Amino acid sequence: MRALGLLAPLLGLGLGLALSLPPPAATDCTSLGPSERLAFSPAARTRWLAPRVRAPGPLDPLYGMVRRFLSVVQLNPFPSELVKALLNEPSSLKVDEVVRYEAGYVVCAVTAGLYLVAVPTTGLCFCCCRCRRRCGGRVKTEHKAMACERGTLMAFLLLTTIILLAGVVCAFVTNQRTHEQMGPSVEAVPETLRSLRGLVSDVPGELETVAKQFSVPQEQVLKELDGIGESIGPTIHSQLRSTMYSVLASVHSLGQALQVSMDRLRALNSTLVELQEGQQQLVLALEKHRDRLLTLLQQPGCRKDCTDTQDRARALELAADFTQVPPVDNVLHRLKGVPEANFSNMVQEENTTFNSLPFLVAMQMELVIKDLKEAVAQKPEGMGTLAEAFPELEAAPRWSRALEELEENSRPYLQEAQRYETYRWAVGCVLCSAVLLVVACNLLGLSLGIWGLSAREDPSQSEAKGEAGARFLMVGVGFSFVFAAPLILLVFLTFLVGGNVQTLVCRSWESGELYQFADTPGNLPPSLNLSHLLGMRKNVSVLLTYQQCREGAALWKVLQLDDSYNLEKHLDLSQQNLQNFKPNVQNLELLSPEAHRDLEALQSSGLEKVNYQAFRVQIQSPVVKTDLEQLAQELQGLAQAQGNSSLGQQLRMEAHGLRDLYQEKVVPRQNLVAQLNLSVRALESAAPRLQLQTAGVLSHVADLERELPARAARILMNESACFLSRELSYFSQYLAWVREEVTQRIATCQPLSAALDNGRVILCDMVADPWNAFWFCLAWCTFFLIPSVVFAVKTSKYFRPIRKRLSSTSSEETQLFHIPRVTSLKL
């Protein structure tokens, strides 16, 4: 019954808990711990288009070089008028304007045409000349500058061959890269269209799914409300526990110290009385022994050390006089009956009372928790109409059908593009292999020719190797002439397509000119107008829409739906309120009246004012000034040294008497002094601390009994605010999730901007760049075939054996084999 009164001083304290934003402030919420992270099921389908980015690679410098070359070829800006005429009235398109815009490509076409005519014609002429043995023969005579000419031609041919090899390797790589990128790029087109088609069509159903998940924070709050009554009580108990237990421990310790001090004080008093009562008997006994000893030691017949022993005998008197110490009767009188209270039982009872606090709080919160559950179970009206009030997108079905038709119609064209890409890849591999064959012939010809030149010691071997090297070079020349026409045709066709894609589409797409062109009224036909496709009353800017979607803007912001739909109104939870909670605490007594009287008596007893110094002075003094055992031993030795047997016998008897006196009187008195010493020391050290401890306990108990209700109220308010904040955090998680789900996933136009960006990356970075790099490298090889042919024909002459002619003006080498002509002699 006493424990039930633990909740009274807070009867007037009303703790209002209102479920509204923002939550009340709480100073310390560590007891409840952080709120759990709620898991919501995704309401939006996965339509978030991941951005496509071409990874940096070793071909990037080559792509940059090709783009710079195309920027030189096409210096004209975006032809908005030509494109407008092409989209709206194709018949009005003028050829001269197209040629003027494509002037750079026309120059390149003329160059390719000249190459297509000149190189095969030159090859045909060279073939006819070779058949008549008029071209590409051998060096007729050897001269001094021949070695220099031959070395120069070989160096240029090797350099040209290395350039051809680098170009054909790059052509192989870019050809394969184009082929590999075409498949994933084609497959990405339907995927992008499907994502755009589902952008708006599923919004109402997804909003309904979002509204239904309001039950997730509701269920979490209801689950935690079941345990809040058992949580707040222990929290209050745990926060007050350290203070309460500390005070109760101090009271218990003080009770034990009080009991010990009282026992010490009573022991001191009884020991002092016993010492004072036995002191007179010991004085009389010492006087008798002293008088007899002095009489014996002063006899004339006493020999040896009698004089020294007389001095010790005169010291047979008391050293410690306990009649000089002050009495403690008055202190004992003030502490009569102390301790009256049983401190151990009292502390245990208070501890049990305090530990019942969690149970009492839980009992009083049952009704409050019931009201809270009813308030939380109510669903806000706005959540029920979240999906119903969303603006009806009339253009959504039409847009979905258009995208579906576009997806279906694009599949045949995409398949055709893949098929033609396979043909292009195969032709490119064949022509690159032809260029690689020319490189191989040049390298073999150079290797065999140089080997033949270095083996001039064996004329037969050197001529065979040199002749083989020259033939390999001429085979390379033949391949160059044969494949020149297909090479220049493939280069020009791929250049014409890829170059225009880069300069007309990619460059303007990247700079934003395409969006500006689409935003200009009249440029696009009505069937391609964005506002018309979306069914909007207002014109929608393509560039602004793209920029807003790229920044993650909401769909209703891009489509200007802010005035027709207010999301915050449907997410308002401020109508829910919770009941007041009024738990209270009262009548907490940490000290009983008996304990109060005991401690007040101890404070006024004067225990710390006892003159313990006087006790120490007597305690530190010996019981007898001389050592009785040592004196008895000297008397025993002195008795043996005496010539007078009667005197010796008397000395022995005195020695025996002193020993008996020591054992019977002195030793018990020494034990009493030792006990007195323990009591004095304990009381002397404990009395000041005991008084301070008593004052501190009385003060702490008074303060705690006065402040405990207020502290309990503050803790209760803080814990209630913490609980409210924790529960509101679940609804805040839900609101944040709803905003994120609606604005960034359900109703976001990110797929639109991502589709445009991915389309540019697919067309320009993944297809056009390797495509243009391929024809650039192949053109590089094609035009370097010309110097390769020239240097191969020139170099082959020096690899063939030289036919030498004899003459009368020959060198000394020929003069050695000169046979003089025989002439007739005249007698």
pLDDT tops 80 at residue 429: yes
pLDDT at 430: 93
| Structure token digits, residue 73 | 């070829």
pLDDT at 439: 92
Given a contact cutoff of 8 angstroms between Cβ atoms, the answer to whether 293 and 313 are in contact is: yes
Mean pLDDT of 342-365: 78
Question: Which has the higher per-residue pLDDT, 214 or 72?
Answer: 72
Find residue 135's DSSP bridge partners: none
Q: Which residue has the tokens 């222990």?
A: 234
507 contact partners, CB below 8 Å, separation of at least 6: 71, 78
C-alpha 438/C-alpha 442 separation (Å) is: 6
pLDDT at 168: 92
Write the CA distances from 808 to 52, 83, 457, 804, 815, integer angstroms.
82, 82, 26, 14, 8
pLDDT band, residue 17 (cuts 50/70/90): very low
Residue range 750-783, pLDDT digits in tens? 778 888 888 888 889 888 999 999 999 999 999 9
Q: Which residue has the tokens 């390769």?
A: 788
For residue 283, give the nearest of 653, 666, 619, 632 by alpha carbon. 666
Mean pLDDT (the chain) is 75
C-alpha 658/C-alpha 634 separation (Å) is: 11
Mean pLDDT of 119-145: 71
| Type of residue at 777 | C
3-state secondary structure of 16: strand
Mean pLDDT of 667-683: 81
pLDDT tops 70 at residue 216: yes
pLDDT at 566: 55
Given a contact cutoff of 8 angstroms between Cβ atoms, the answer to whether 204 and 387 are in contact is: yes
For every residue of 604-636, which 3-state class applies, written as one string?
CCCHHHCCHHHHHHHHHCCCECCCHHHHHHHHH
For residue 800, give the nearest of 439, 462, 475 by alpha carbon. 462
Question: Which has the higher per-residue pLDDT, 801 or 336?
Answer: 336
pLDDT > 70: percent of the chain: 78
Residue range 430-476, pLDDT digits in tens? 999 999 999 999 999 888 887 877 765 555 555 677 778 788 888 88
The H or E element containing residue 580 is: strand 580-581
Given a contact cutoff of 8 angstroms between Cβ atoms, the answer to whether 353 and 6 are in contact is: yes
659 contact partners, CB below 8 Å, separation of at least 6: 628, 629, 632
DSSP state of 574: T
Give per-residue burial for 590-608: e unless 16+ CB within 10 Å, then b.
bbbebbebbbebbeebebb
DSSP 641-708: H-S-HHHHHHHHHHHHHHHHHIIIIIHHHHHHHHHHHHHHHHHHHHHHHHHHHHHHHHHHHHHHHHHH
Residue range 376-416, pLDDT digits in tens? 777 665 555 555 555 544 556 667 777 788 888 888 888 88
Residue range 281-323, pLDDT digits in tens? 777 777 787 777 777 777 776 766 677 777 777 777 776 777 7
Q: Which residue has the tokens 């009591």?
A: 679
pLDDT tops 80 at residue 805: no
Given a contact cutoff of 8 angstroms between Cβ atoms, the answer to whether 321 and 275 are in contact is: no
C-alpha 580/C-alpha 371 separation (Å) is: 9
pLDDT band, residue 713 (cuts 50/70/90): confident
Mean pLDDT of 106-130: 88
pLDDT at 15: 28
Question: Which has the higher per-residue pLDDT, 475 or 535?
Answer: 475
pLDDT band, residue 28 (cuts 50/70/90): low
| Structure token digits, residue 147 | 């070695």
Mean pLDDT of 77-96: 83
Given a contact cutoff of 8 angstroms between Cβ atoms, the answer to whether 525 and 87 are in contact is: yes
pLDDT tops 50 at residue 18: no
Count the helix, strand and coil residues of the chain and give each as a percent rounded to the nearest 5.
75, 0, 25
- Do the strands 580-581 and 15-16 form a parallel or antiparallel pair, or are they unpaired? antiparallel
Measured torsion, CA atoms of residues 705, 709, 714, 715, in degrees rounded to the nearest 10:
80
